[in-house]
Amino acid sequence: MTRFATILLASTALASPALAEMLDVEKDELTLGFIKLTDMAPLAIAYEKHFFEDEGLYVTLEPQANWKVLLDRVISGELDGAHMLAGQPLAATIGYGTKAHIVTPFSMDLNGNAITVSNEVWAAMKPAIPVGADGKPEHPVSAAALKPVIEEFRARGETFNMGMVFPVSTHNYELRYWLAAGGINPGFYSPEDVSGQISADAFLSVTPPPQMPATLEAGTINGYAVGEPWNQQAVLKGIGVPVITDIEIWKNNPEKVFGLTADFVEANPNTTLALTKALIRAAEWLDAEGNANRAEAVEILSRSEYVGADAEVIANSMTGSFEYEPGDRRAVPDFNVFFRYNATYPFYSDAIWTLTQMRRWGQIEAAQPDGWYAETAAAVYKPAIYLEAARMLVDEGLADAADFPWDSDGYKPATAEFIDGIPYDGRTPNAYLDSLPIGLKADQRVIGRDVQG
Amino acid sequence: MTQPLRILVIQHDPARADMLTDALRQAGETEVMILPSDSRLASRIKELGPDLVLIDLANPSRDALEELTLASSPADRPVAMFVDRSDPALTRAAVEAGVSAYVVDGIRPDRIRAVLDAALARFHMFQKLRTELDATRAALEQRKIIDRAKGVLMRARGISEDEAYALMRRAAMERGRKIADVAAAIVTASELLQ
C-alpha cells in the first residue's frame, strides 16, 4: 500500500495536496538545522522526496557549525527545529548547559556510531584480543584490551586522550560505557569542574565530528567516538582502526532526535504534526524493502549541501557493512536503523537511559528519585504527538498500522543487550545506577577531586 | 541596566557640559562623552555609536533643532533634547524630527535619569513597531506577488490555485530559493512575454 502510494505520488507529481485533507499549518515556511552527519538522512529525504511539501511545508535545511550553535539557534528561534543529539533536549530542559525547554516528537535513528583508535594504539591492543577461527579479531572488542595500553601511556608520563563530539552526546555516554565495562575510568563531572576528567584513566574532550580524523592524525587524541562517515574515513585514510560499533555496546541504542522548543510546539501544533508526518515517511523510505533505497540515499547525502563526503565512505555504513582493520569488512546490517524496531517512536525509557548516564558521570550532581526520571522524560519526549502523526499517515494510506507501537506506555521491555550484559529497566533508574561498575551511585557526589558519600 | 549606558552629550557651553556630566554620573552607571555641535557631527556620532544622544540647547532655532536631530540619526538611537524655551511649533518640529524625549525648561539633575530611561523605553517601543511595520509591509508585498504569480500559472497551465502554489513551492525548494523570489521571476517573465 505504501509503495503504491509512493508511486502514485511520484507519477502524478503535484497532485499530492489533493490526496489527503491537509493540516492547517500555523507556519508553513520553516528553517531546520542539521550537522553534517549521515544520520541527518531523514531530513534530506523528507526534503528530496517532497514529503515536507506534501504536508504544505516550505522548508530550508541549514547545516550548523557545531551542536552548541545548533541548540542556541533553535532556542533563539532562528531555527524552527533541528537534528539533535538525544541528550541535548534533556540537558537543556534540566538546565545542564543552556537552559531551555526542548521537546522531541520524533526519534531519528538507532545506532550509527563507532569508536576508532590510532594505528599505534590498535597495534598495542591487538595482542590482548582473542582471535577467532577465521583468523580475525573476535568481536565485540572489550576495552579491557585497551587497559594495558593506557597503563603504558601512564608509565611513559603521557595522558591517554580521546575525542567525543559533545558533553551530552550519545558518543560521550557510549564511549564511557565501553571504557567502564573494560575497567577504565572515563572521569567524572562536578558542578565546579565540567571537564569530565576528574579521577580519569582516559581523558575525554570535545572535538567536532568532521575534525576527528585530522585530530587523531595530528596525535592530539589517541582515539575517538563519533558517527559516520568519520570512522570509515579513518580507515580510508589509513590513520586509525574502528574497534567497536555502538550496536555492540548497546544493541539498537537511540541516537539523534528531532528537537523543537516547547513554545514552538505549543504555538504550532499542526506544523509540528506535519513535520512529524514528513519525517516518519522519510524514515520509512530509508528502511523500506530491506534497505533497497539506501544506495539512492547515499547519493543524496554525499551532496555538498548535506553531508558532503565521498559517497563510497557514506555507503560503507549506510548499506549494511562496516570496515574495521583495512580489509576486515563485516556485515553490520543494523549499523544505521531509521525506521524498523520502532526506531522513530520517542521512548521514555531511552530518555531515562541518557539521564542515568548523566547522573552516573556527575553531570547530574545529586541523586534524584525514580519519579524525577519519569517526569523529566515525559516533559521532553512526546510519543502522543508521534502517534497522532502516525495515525494520520495510516488513515491516508501512507503508512502501515503494523509498524507503530500503538499500545506502548513509552517503556521498552527491560534489556540486557549491553556489552557487559547488565540489565536495564527504564522504570527503575536508581537500581540500574547501583548495578553499574564505575560511576556515581545512591547519594554519592563529586566533591573537589573525589567521589564522596 | 547591567551595562553602563553610553551617553553622548552635544553641547557647546563648557560650563553647562560639566554640570550635565556631573548630573549624569550621579544618576547611575553611565559613560559620558561630549561633542561640540560642529560640522562633522553626524560622522563623529556614527563613529562613537552611543546608546543615547542628549542634546542641550538653551534657545533653539528651528533649523538648529532639525539639523542636530538629523545628525543624531533618531531612527538608530534614542535622542533626548533639553531646551530652556520652546513654543508649540518648535515642539512639534522636534517630535516630527524623531526625538524620543523633548524636555522644556532646562535640566533638573535629580530628574535626568528618569527622563533618559523614558526616552530609551519610548525609542525601543517605536523601533519595535517600525520593524513590525516593515516586516508586515514586506510580507504584504510578497503576498501580492505570490498571488499574481499564482494567477499567471493558473491561466497558463489550467491548474487550481493550490496546485499553482505547490508548483512554485517545489520550484523554490528544488533551487534553494524563497517562494517569493520564484513568484517574482514568474511575474517578470510573464510581463516580458506579453
Q: How confident is the model at residue A20 (pLDDT cuts 50, 70, 90)?
A: low
Query: How far is B86 from A362, CA to CA, in rounded Å?
Result: 67
Whether residue A18 has pLDDT greater than 50: no
Average pLDDT over residues A442-448: 93
Query: How far is A105 from A257, CA to CA, in rounded Å?
Result: 8
- Mean pLDDT score of chain B: 86
Percent of chain A whose pLDDT exceeds 90: 89
Whether residue A46 has pLDDT greater than 80: yes
Q: How far is CA A265 from CA A256, A268, A274, A392, B75, in A?
A: 19, 5, 11, 18, 35
A29 contacts in chain B (CB < 8 Å)? 179
Q: What is the ipTM, given to two decimal places?
A: 0.74
Can you list the domains of chain B with their CATH numbers?
Answer: 5-107 (3.40.50.2300), 133-193 (1.10.10.10)
Nearest of B9, B7, B165 to residue B82 by alpha carbon: B9
Quick one: cell of B122? Answer: 519610548
pLDDT at A15: 42
* φ and ψ of A41, to 5 deg: -45, -45
Whether residue A16 has pLDDT greater than 80: no
pLDDT tens-place string over residues A379-433: 999 999 999 999 999 999 999 999 999 999 999 999 999 999 999 999 999 999 9
Tell me which residue in A17, A52, A58 faces B162 most closely, judged by beta carbons. A17
A18 contacts in chain B (CB < 8 Å)? 162-163
B179 contacts in chain A (CB < 8 Å)? 29, 58
CATH 3.40.190.10, applies to A2-111+254-403: yes
A47 contacts in chain B (CB < 8 Å)? 173
B176 contacts in chain A (CB < 8 Å)? 60, 305
Interface residue of A9, A12, A14, A24 to substitute, partner B, most B CBs within 10 Å: A14
pLDDT at B27: 73
pLDDT at A206: 95
Residue of chain A nearest B166, judged by CA positions: A14
Tell me which residue in A14, A16, A59 faces B173 most closely, judged by beta carbons. A59
Q: How confident is the model at residue B9 (pLDDT cuts 50, 70, 90)?
A: confident
Q: How confident is the model at residue B116 (pLDDT cuts 50, 70, 90)?
A: confident
Tell me which residue in A18, A53, A305 faces B170 most closely, judged by beta carbons. A53
Query: How far is A344 from A110, CA to CA, in rounded Å?
Result: 9
Quick one: cell of A200? Answer: 580519569
- Which stretch of A123-132, A257-266, A274-283, B124-133 has the lowest confidence by average pLDDT? B124-133
Average pLDDT over residues B132-145: 93
Contact B166 A14 (CB under 8 A): yes
- Mean pLDDT score of chain A: 93
Pairing state of beta strands A450-452 and A445-447?
antiparallel
Buried b (16+ CB within 10 A) or exposed e, B95-124: eebbbbbbbeeebeeeebbebbbebbeebe
- Which stretch of A154-163, A199-208, A423-432, B87-96 has the lowest confidence by average pLDDT? B87-96
Asked if the domains at A2-111+254-403 and A113-253 fall in one CATH topology, the answer is yes
Number of residues that this document lists for chain B: 194
Residue of chain A nearest B174, judged by CA positions: A48
- Which stretch of A43-47, A319-323, B35-39 has the lowest confidence by average pLDDT? B35-39
Whether residue A337 has pLDDT greater than 90: yes
pLDDT: which is higher, A105 or A10: A105
Q: How confident is the model at residue B1 (pLDDT cuts 50, 70, 90)?
A: very low
Q: Is the dihedral of CA A382, A386, A392, A395 positive or negative?
A: negative
* Nearest chain B Cα distance for residue A68, angstroms: 25
Q: How confident is the model at residue B5 (pLDDT cuts 50, 70, 90)?
A: confident
* Nearest chain A Cα distance for residue B183, angstroms: 14
A278 contacts in chain B (CB < 8 Å)? none
Contact B167 A14 (CB under 8 A): yes
pLDDT at B39: 67
Whether residue B148 has pLDDT greater than 80: yes
The domains of chain A are located at: 2-111+254-403, 113-253
Q: How confident is the model at residue B95 (pLDDT cuts 50, 70, 90)?
A: confident
- Which stretch of A295-299, B99-103, B182-186 has the lowest confidence by average pLDDT? B99-103
Q: Are A17 and A54 in contact (CB under 8 A)?
A: yes
Interface residue of B153, B168, B169 to substitute, partner A, most A CBs within 10 Å: B169
Average pLDDT over residues A228-257: 95
Whether residue B20 has pLDDT greater than 90: no
Q: Are B105 and B91 in contact (CB under 8 A)?
A: no
Q: Are A433 and A439 in contact (CB under 8 A)?
A: yes
A53 contacts in chain B (CB < 8 Å)? 166, 169-170, 173
Whether residue A17 has pLDDT greater than 60: no
Q: How confident is the model at residue A232 (pLDDT cuts 50, 70, 90)?
A: very high
Query: How far is B142 from B153, CA to CA, in rounded Å?
Result: 16
Contact B162 A305 (CB under 8 A): no
- Which stretch of A15-19, A247-251, A278-282 has the lowest confidence by average pLDDT? A15-19
Q: How confident is the model at residue A21 (pLDDT cuts 50, 70, 90)?
A: low
Average pLDDT over residues A5-16: 42
Query: What torsion do the CA atoms of B4, B6, B10, B15 make, to the nearest 10 degrees?
Result: 30
Q: Decide which of 3.40.50.2300, 3.30.10.20, 3.40.190.10, 3.30.465.10 is the CATH code for A113-253.
A: 3.40.190.10
Quick one: cell of A422? Answer: 547488565
Quick one: cell of B170? Answer: 517545489
* Nearest chain A Cα distance for residue B44, angstroms: 34
Q: Are B79 and B69 in contact (CB under 8 A)?
A: yes
Query: How far is A178 from A181, CA to CA, in rounded Å?
Result: 5
